[in-house]
């Protein structure tokens, strides 16, 4: 009898634990973090139900749960359902803290992002503008958070191609940051870069130069002249000069960014390919075709190398799936591409012979698997001869 009573008590405690909102929330959050949204949804809903019974339907402690379930809906592209929950959370916060409380700002920003994702841009803009109004009223017109809010609003306008409206918001953010943190603070860099973008999009090329030069200067001071953070701003300034046909000014900037990209991102990176193309375009525009040609050749070699590697990887996957005919086609394509890679000397070499040898070796492995040993031996012999020639 005592044993049965103990079992009943244990079962009751277990049931209470299962119904505990905090534990339900933890379990749902873990499921959502794992991408198991369909499983997380009913657990969050249950946590909300129990919290409502315990706290009431307008308690501010419900807000995090409502936001978490709304995020699950957003992850499943169920935006109208998410909107209802965000609106409810905002209404609870507003009733508890007042319509001018800074506590509303996170919910307003989330709602603005949701409306933008739904294509309801006017409603999104209203939320961003309300954030600005609350921040000004609560913290004044020179608060650093207001600078972030202004930059976010400008970012929204930039996505809508409303550059003329974005510009004053960016300038306001820059003014506040300068006042609070100084004219060399690294947090200015993304705002300066956005301002340059806005000016360039409006074809105000002359005024765009100053913010880009400042961005370069700040990054150099913070990280050193050869840091990878400096390279994108050098490239953007060079692009501005190229647009203005100031090729003599653009070339040294691309010449400077190219080795930064190579040393920071590696000799096969997409960033290096773009840097090679950029400098080559400038040289060609100056009529310096002898200087442009090797840059284009190296860019071409790197692109073809990437294509060979992709074809190899696809062939290996197809081979693993047992689709040997498709794998063979990919290996043959990779071999054909590898044979066309330009042979470049010195540091510009992309190792085309080694790449071809490895591709041939992979193809020979497939042929051995298919019992086509005569063909495999012929391919292996070619791969070995390439390997010897590289030594």
pLDDT at 192: 98
Query: pTM of the full predicted structure?
Result: 0.83
d(CA 62, CA 101): 18
Confidence category of residue 6, pLDDT binned at 50, 70, 90:
very low
Q: Which of 65, 170, 149, 61 is nearest to 105 (CA)?
A: 149
CA 131 distance to own-chain centroid = 25
pLDDT band at 141 (very low <50, low <70, confident <90, very high): very high
Mean pLDDT of the region 121-132:
97
| Alpha helix (H) residue ranges in the chain | 2-18, 21-33, 37-55, 63-75, 79-97, 105-117, 121-139, 144-159, 163-181, 189-201, 205-223, 231-243, 247-265, 270-285, 289-321, 324-339, 352-369, 373-390
Model confidence over 23-79: pLDDT tens digits?
Answer: 888 898 999 999 999 999 999 999 999 888 988 999 999 999 999 999 999 999 999
Q: What is the pLDDT of residue 18?
A: 55
Superfamily of domain 17-139: Tetratricopeptide repeat domain (1.25.40.10)
Q: Which CATH code is given to the segment(s) 301-391?
A: 1.25.40.10
Segments of the chain assigned to CATH 1.25.40.10: 17-139, 301-391
| Res 87: pLDDT | 95
DSSP calls for 147-194: HHHHHHHHHHHHHTT-HHHHHHHHHHHHHHHHHHH-TT-GGGHHHHHH
pLDDT tens-digit profile of 212-235? 999 999 999 999 999 999 999 999
> Which pLDDT value is given to residue 97?
92
d(CA 44, CA 42): 5
State whether the Cα torsion 235-236-239-240 is positive or negative. Answer: negative
Burial tier of 80 (Cβ tally within 10 Å: 0-12, 13-18, 19+): exposed
């Amino acid at each position: 009898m005592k044993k049965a009573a103990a079992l009943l008590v244990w079962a009751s405690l277990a049931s209470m634990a299962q119904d505990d909102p905090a534990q339900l929330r933890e379990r749902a959050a873990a499921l959502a973090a794992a991408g198991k949204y369909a499983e997380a949804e009913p657990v969050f809903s249950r946590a909300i139900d129990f919290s409502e019974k315990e706290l009431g339907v307008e308690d501010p402690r419900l807000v995090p749960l409502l936001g978490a379930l709304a995020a699950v809906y957003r992850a499943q592209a169920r935006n109208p359902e998410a909107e209802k929950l965000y609106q409810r959370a905002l209404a609870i916060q507003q009733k508890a803290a007042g319509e001018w409380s800074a506590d509303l700002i996170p919910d307003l920003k989330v709602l603005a992002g949701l409306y933008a994702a739904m294509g309801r841009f006017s409603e999104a803009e209203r939320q961003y503008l309300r954030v600005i109004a609350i921040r000004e009223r609560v913290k004044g017109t020179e608060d650093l958070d207001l600078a972030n809010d202004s930059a976010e609003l400008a970012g929204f306008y930039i996505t809508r191609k409303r550059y003329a409206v974005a510009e004053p918001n960016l300038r306001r953010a820059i003014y506040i940051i300068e006042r609070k943190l100084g004219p060399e603070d690294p947090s200015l860099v993304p705002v300066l870069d956005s301002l340059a973008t806005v000016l360039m999009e409006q074809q105000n090329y002359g005024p765009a130069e100053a913010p880009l030069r400042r961005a370069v200067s700040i990054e150099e001071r913070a990280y050193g002249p050869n840091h990878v953070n400096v390279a994108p701003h050098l490239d953007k300034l060079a692009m501005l000069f190229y647009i203005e046909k100031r090729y003599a000014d653009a070339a040294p900037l691309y010449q400077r960014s190219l080795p930064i990209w190579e040393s920071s991102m590696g000799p096969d990176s997409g960033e290096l390919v773009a840097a090679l193309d950029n400098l080559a375009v400038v040289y060609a525009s100056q009529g310096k075709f002898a200087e442009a040609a090797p840059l284009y050749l190296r860019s071409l070699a790197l692109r073809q190398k990437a294509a060979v590697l992709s074809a190899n990887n696809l062939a290996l996957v197809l081979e693993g799936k047992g689709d040997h005919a498709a794998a063979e086609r990919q290996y043959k394509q990779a071999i054909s591409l590898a044979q066309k890679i330009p042979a470049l000397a010195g540091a510009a070499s992309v190792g085309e012979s080694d790449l071809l040898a490895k591709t041939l070796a992979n193809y020979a492995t497939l042929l051995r698997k298919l019992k086509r040993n005569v063909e495999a031996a012929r391919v292996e012999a070619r791969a070995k001869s390439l390997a010897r020639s590289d030594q």
